[in-house]
Structure 1
Amino acid sequence: MGKIIISENVSLDGVVQDPTGEEGFRLGGWYLQMGDNDREAWAKLLLAEALGAEALLLGRRTDEWFATRWLSRTGEWADRLNSLPKYVVSATLQEPKWSDSTASKGRVLKGDVVDEVSKLKQELDGDLVVYASSRLVHTLMEHDLVDELRLTVFPVVLGAGERLFGETSDKKPMRLVHARTVGDGLAFLTYQPVQDA
C-alpha cells in the first residue's frame, strides 16, 4: 500500500503562496532569500526524498508549473524528478504535462478525488509525494488520506498569503516524528497524523 507524503516549503507562519516571486504576490520570493549553505543542504534533502519516492501526486497547475521548470534540466535531481511517474488530479487535463515521454509514466485522475487517490494508494507501494498543490493538499487532509507531512520551514514571517492548511471540518491532530536543522537556518519537520485521536 502506498503512503501519501505531503512535502512543502512554508514560511514560519505557514504561507506557501508564491515562494519564487513569479506569481505577483507582493510578499512573494521569500524562498529565494536562503543562503548558499541552506540551498545546498535543502537540495540534498529533496534529492534524497525524490530517490525514495515511488511517484508524484500533483494538482493540474502544479504539474504545469513544474513541467516548465524541470523538463529542460539535467543532473541527478532533475533526472529523478523527470523520470518519476506522475499522477495528476484534474477534471480537464488529458495527460500530465510534466513527463519524460521515454521514462516517465503517469495518468490523470479525473473522477472523485477521494476515490481516485484511495485506489491509487491501494495500487502502488512506496511514497506518493505531493509537492505544492495546495487545493489537493486541503482535500487530502480533510479526508484523512495523508500519511505524513514533511515541512521545510523558512525563517521568515509573511503575515499574509495563502497558507498550507485551509479550513477543515474538524481538528487534525499530528505527532512530530522527526525534526532537524537544514543548512544554517531551515527547519525540516516530519509529522504523522494521530489515528483515532
Structure 2
Amino acid sequence: MGKIIISENITLDGVNQDEGFKHTGWFQQYIGGDGDEWYKVLFAEAQHAKALLLGRHTDEYFGSRWNSRTDEYANLLNGLPKYVVSSTLGDPVWVNSTILRGPLLAEVSKLKQEIEGDVVVYGSGQLARTLIENDLADELRLIVFPVVLGVGQRLFSDLGDKRRVSLIEAKGIGENLGYVRYEIGAHENVRGTAELL
C-alpha cells in the first residue's frame, strides 16, 4: 500500500505560497547559504519516491522548469511517474504524467492501493489541504524557513477540524532551516504530540 507524503517548503507562520502575492520569491530570498543542504534532503526524498501526486498549477510550474533539465536531480524527478489531479487540464505539462479526472478521494484511494511506497506531493497547496482534511495524507515533511510573512496561503488553512500528528524526526538543515517530519493522524483518533490548527 502506498503512503501519501506531503513535502513542503514553508515559512515559520505556515505560508507555502511562493508566487502571485506581495512576498513572491521568499524561497530564494531566505534559502541563503543553505541551498546545498536543502538539495541533499530533497534529493534523498526523491530517491525513495515511487511517484508524485500534483495539482494542476504545480504540474504547470514544475513541468515548464524541469522538462528541459538534464542534471541528476532533474533526471530523477522527470523519470518518476506523476499523477495530476485536474478536471480542466487538457494535457499535463510535466513528462511522465497521467491526469486523474475522477472524484479526487476515490482516485487517491485507488492510487494508494496500486502504488507500493511513497507518493510525494510537492507544492499543490489546495490538494495537500484536501488530502489532510479527508485523512488520505500519511506524513508531513516540512522544511521551515526563517521568516514570518504575515500573509499568503498557508498549508493548514481551512482544514475544518483538528488533526493529531506524531513527531518522527526534527533536525536543522544548514544554519537556518528546520526540517520536521510528522505522522498524520485521522482527526483525534490516534496518538500524537501536537495538533494542526
Structure-1-length-normalised TM-score: 0.91
Q: Cα distance, 1:169 vs. partner? A: 2.5
Matched, 1:17 2:14: no
* Aligned partner (choices 12, 32, 35) of residue 35 of structure 1: 32
Which residue number corresponds to residue 102 of structure 2?
Answer: 111
Where 1:138 maps in the other structure, the secondary structure is: helix
Q: RMSD of the TM alignment (CA)?
A: 1.1
For 1:98 and 1:85, locate their aligned partners in 2 and report how far apart those are by CA, in whole Å: 10
Which residue number corresponds to residue 48 of structure 1?
Answer: 44
Matched, 1:26 2:22: yes
Which residue number corresponds to residue 6 of structure 2?
Answer: 6
Q: Cα distance, 1:133 vs. partner? A: 0.3
For 1:24 and 1:45, locate their aligned partners in 2 and report how far apart those are by CA, in whole Å: 26
Unaligned 5+ residue runs, structure 1? none
Matched, 1:138 2:134: no
For 1:135 and 1:126, locate their aligned partners in 2 and report how far apart those are by CA, in whole Å: 23
Structure-2-length-normalised TM-score: 0.91
Q: What does the per-residue CA deviation read over 1:43-71, in whole Å, with 9 as the maximum and x for residues that have no partner?
A: 11101011110000000110011011111
Q: Cα distance, 1:92 vs. partner? A: 1.7
For 1:24 and 1:118, locate their aligned partners in 2 and report how far apart those are by CA, in whole Å: 31
8 Å contact 2:8–2:141 — kept in the other structure?
A: yes
8 Å contact 1:2–1:122 — kept in the other structure?
A: yes
Q: Cα distance, 1:131 vs. partner? A: 0.3
Moved over 3 A (4+): none
Q: Cα distance, 1:13 vs. partner? A: 0.3
Where 2:24 maps in the other structure, the secondary structure is: coil
For 2:139 and 2:4, locate their aligned partners in 1 and report how far apart those are by CA, in whole Å: 7
Which residue number corresponds to residue 195 of structure 2?
Answer: none
Give the counterpart letter for 2:65 in structure 1. Answer: R
Unaligned 5+ residue runs, structure 2? 191-197
Matched residue count: 187
